[in-house]
Structure 1
Amino acid sequence: MTDCVFCEIVAGRAPANVVKEWEDALAIVPIRPVVQGHTLVIPKRHVTDFGEDPDVSASTMRRAAELVVGEQPMNLITSRGREATQSVFHLHLHLVPRAANDGLALPWSGGHGKQRAE
């Protein structure tokens, strides 16, 4: 896929700060990390999102889990579709280290959304 920035990174045609490389995935520092240690894990094979190929999604999740050290608090975030805030249409998992009172709010925290009926 020629217009995918992550495919360009995987192919070595675009720069990236690589944290770790496996045969099937890369871990990179995002262009705008939200906290120190924020990492993206991307599969080398192009899949649009986590629903496109469960095997690729599972192996990418396994690679993300390999990066987690000890019991460090962490958000693992991925999105599927523009309405769900997906902006790059190549599966990627955000690993976001957390700390008590770090002030980093998730998009849905704080009661800003409509409540769903139970």
Structure 2
Amino acid sequence: MSSCTFCRIVAGEEPAEVVLADEQVVGFLDTRPVFKGHVLLVPRQHVHTLTDLPDALVGPLFTAARTLAQGVKDGLGAQGSFVAMNNQVSQSVAHLHVHVVPRTKGDGLRGFFWPRTKYAQGEAGEYAARLRAVLPGGDAAG
């Protein structure tokens, strides 16, 4: 998909600082990092969101994410990492990508970037029931 920036990076048509590449995934530095060393990991195949990811790519993608999470510690001296992805909402490029951000205690990043809420009495059970109703094996969890 020539209109997709990440597909162009994967194809070598767009410059990027690639840090990890194999037959199924490519990891490269984000040009607008949260912290220096922030990596974007993408499947080579154009996939829009996590729910579109073929089963055969789930393992390779998350194995590479795990490798990068260790890599930012070993290579950059980070104490840990923040690993995340957006699906449609806040997804700046419509190609599935995993953010692997190096973290150090006191780096200023505070938890999630959105307000938190609380469940009213009994409401958590209602939400859980709605999710179990649509998830495979969900009825057994209740």
Taking structure 1 as the reference length, the TM-score comes to 0.84
Higher helix share: 2
- Indicate if the aligned counterparts of 2:69 and 2:80 stay in contact, CA closer than 8 A: no
Partner of 1:101: 106
**Whole-Å separation in 2 of the counterparts to 1:20 and 1:59:** 12
Partner of 1:79: 86
Higher relative contact order by CA 8 Å / sep ≥ 6: 1 or 2? Answer: 1
Unaligned runs of 5+ in 2: 125-142
Give the residue type in structure 2 aligned to 1:79: N
| Identity across matched positions, percent | 37
The aligned length equals 113
Asked whether 1:39 is paired with 2:46, we answer: no
Q: Displacement of 1:116 after TM fit? A: 4.4
Q: In the TM superposition, what whole-angstrom CA distance separates every residue of 1:41-79 from its partner, at most 9, and x where no partner exists?
A: 111011001110242233211111122326942111101
The RMSD of aligned alpha carbons is 1.9
Q: Displacement of 1:18 after TM fit? A: 0.6
4+ runs deviating over 4 angstroms: none
**Whole-Å separation in 2 of the counterparts to 1:88 and 1:116:** 33
Asked whether 1:62 is paired with 2:63, we answer: yes
Q: In the TM superposition, what whole-angstrom CA distance separates every residue of 1:76-105 from its partner, at most 9, and x where no partner exists?
A: 1101113xx111110100001111121113
Sort the Cα spacing of 1:57 and 1:89 in 2 relative to 1 into closer, same or farther, 3 A.
Answer: farther
Sort the Cα spacing of 1:6 and 1:116 in 2 relative to 1 into closer, same or farther, 3 A.
Answer: farther
